[in-house]
Amino acid sequence: MIIVSGTLRVDPEAREAYLAGCRFVLEQARVAPGCLDFALSADLLDPGRINVYERWESDAALEAFRGAGPDSEQSAQIRGAEVSRYRISSVEPA
């Protein structure tokens, strides 16, 4: 399993519009083969932060969906990003 997790930084006044512009991507990801979960959310404490969380069955599934990444309009709005890919070998109930 692959987890992609981290944060994006956008201008605080642009965050809601950025997230609204991501709706189609979320809809497509959640029905993509191998996608177990896909979420982008506004941080409750930091108005310029967006939390990223994705769970995929495999690298191949992630790469097949990801393609070229965000479009140029979305990329232009991102002021910073700290997102990492984690390879998970086992999962247990919490």
pLDDT of residue 69 exceeding 70, the answer is no
- Cα–Cα distances (Å) from 26 to 13, 40, 79, 93, in that order, read 21, 8, 21, 26
Q: Tens digit of pLDDT for each residue in 18-66?
A: 999 999 999 999 999 999 999 999 999 999 999 999 999 999 999 999 8
Query: What is the pLDDT averaged over residues 7-27?
Result: 95
- Residue spans of the domains in the chain: they are 2-87
What pLDDT is recorded for position 2?
97
What is the rounded (10 degree) CA torsion for 74, 76, 78, 79? -170
Global pTM value: 0.90
pLDDT number for residue 74: 83
| Structure confidence at residue 73 as a pLDDT band (50, 70, 90) | confident
Hey, what CATH class is 2-87 in? alpha beta
